[in-house]
Amino acid sequence: MHSTQEPRPTPVSRRRVTAAMVADLAGVSTATVSLVANGKAEGRVSTANEAKVRAAIRELGYVVDGIGSSLARGVSNTVIMIAPDISNPFFATVIAGVRAALGSQFQLLLSVTDAGQLPSADDTRRLLGLRPAGLLVDAPEPSFLEELSAPGPLVLLDAPGFGPEVPAVNLDVAQGSRLLAEHLAAAGHKKVAYLDGTTGTTTFEVRRTAFLAAAAELGMEVPAGALAAAAINVGLAATAFAEVWPRWKRDGITAVVCATDTHAYGILQEARATGISIPGELAVTGFDNLPYSMTSSPGLTSINLPGELLGRRAAEQLLKLIAGEHLETQQVTLESSLMVRGSTSDI
């Protein structure tokens, strides 16, 4: 710690270039500078003045100050995305979609919380204090909206379980589960198991419930004891599988559906280590279609969720809300698709 007396070094930097400085140099008012700098000159500023202002802007290196501008307009040109988990290859594709749709008019800023944690109401209020033009919230908990009053334009991503009145773009994971069940049933499996996550996330509930329903409907049995669970971790999934496999085998189970690809990697690993033939002895499916699922051996049959599209649609909806437009559909649901690979099919 330094004493307060010690003089701070004067910043070497040139002082901030303001619209007033540009106006002085160009010989116009700041109103004119503002018009030109914001691309609103058309029909409101003489071409002569516009040229003078542009020259001055270039000479001084003027950039409109976001803070001053936001205060005057009441809103910033920022879109804030709140996300609980960024350490996820899927998330990067969502971001790419958001960025693509947002274009250059709005600046995308991410607010992340510690692994799996949702932002506190305080955090969110502070974020709102930055006056974002809009808010994107990924995988929020059901209680998220209660803490928020007057959030402004807002679109939820991957948020099943919210009322139809809140704009959201969702992934049809239930449909993914059905596709998996149909695929296995078509291959002749009669007894199947399910390896769930342990976090109790809504999407996991939906994945499991929809699979069990579809399996029953298609005449496949999920015997008692054929439901296991493990955290999202290859090693833990392997261990959990090793524990239940003898019983599953005895019960005549020939296929297992995993809540995530990561769980499935654990099974593939354990099967390799102990010589279980995949898919001959046991067919395995994942969920999420992570990049590694394409190159693992065997390749992993999985459900592809359209991440890029999820981000894009959400941003498009948000853009409409920001523009004050009406949304034809408050809730959009995106289809998932089945990727068949070696883990379920010998081809």
Partner DNA sequence: CTGAAAGCGCTTACAG
Residues that bind DNA (CB under 7 A): 16, 18-20, 27-35, 37-38, 40, 43-46, 48-50, 62, 64-65, 67-69, 71-74
Interaxial angle between packed helices 19-26 and 30-37, expressed in degrees from 0 to 180 and rounded to the nearest 10: 110
Encoded one letter per residue, x for contact with its own copies by CB under 8 A and - for no contact, window 192-231 reads ----------------------------------------
Residue burial 150-180, b: 16+ Cβ < 10 Å; e: rest? ebebbbbbbbbebeeebbbbbbbbbbbbbbb
Q: How far is the CB of 65 from its own copies (least distance, A)?
A: 6
> How many CA atoms lie less than 13 Å away from 180 in the CB half-sphere?
37
Q: How far is the CB of 291 from its own copies (least distance, A)?
A: 7
Residue 48 contact partner, candidates DNA, its own copies, none, CB within 5 to 8 A by sort of partner: DNA
Q: How far is the CB of 151 from DNA (least distance, A)?
A: 16
DSSP state of 134: E
For the chain, what's the residue count? 347
Q: Which stretch binds its own copies (CB under 8 A): 147-155, 161-169, 195-203, 213-221?
A: 147-155
Verify binding: residue 11, its own copies, rule CB under 8 A.
yes
In angstroms, the CA 157 to CA 159 distance is 5
Contact 220, 181 (CB under 8 A): yes
Encoded one letter per residue, x for contact with its own copies by CB under 8 A and - for no contact, window 92-121 reads xx-xx--x-------xxxxxx-xx------
Verify binding: residue 326, its own copies, rule CB under 8 A.
yes
Q: Do β-strands 134-138 and 154-157 pair in parallel, antiparallel, or remain unpaired?
A: parallel
Residue 231 contact partner, candidates DNA, its own copies, none, CB within 5 to 8 A by sort of partner: none
Cβ closest to DNA, residue 63 vs residue 216: 63
Instruction: Write the CA distances from 139 to 38, 149, 160, 189, 213, integer angstroms.
Output: 35, 19, 8, 33, 24
Residue 58 contact partner, candidates its own copies, DNA, none, CB within 5 to 8 A by sort of partner: none
Residue 245 contact partner, candidates its own copies, DNA, none, CB within 5 to 8 A by sort of partner: none
Residue 46 contact partner, candidates its own copies, DNA, none, CB within 5 to 8 A by sort of partner: DNA
Contact 174, 205 (CB under 8 A): no
Residue among 38, 100, 106 at smallest CA distance from 78: 106
In angstroms, the CA 116 to CA 159 distance is 15
Cβ closest to its own copies, residue 281 vs residue 325: 325
How many Cβ atoms are within 10 Å of 218's Cβ, its own excluded? 15
Tokens of 190: 């009669």
Verify binding: residue 13, its own copies, rule CB under 8 A.
yes
In angstroms, the CA 202 to CA 206 distance is 6
Cβ closest to DNA, residue 31 vs residue 121: 31
The residues that touch its own copies, with contacts defined as CB under 8 A, are: 1-2, 8, 11-14, 61, 63-71, 76, 78, 80, 85-89, 91-93, 95-96, 99, 107-112, 114-115, 123, 125-131, 149-150, 152, 233-235, 238, 265-266, 269, 272-273, 291-292, 294-297, 324-326
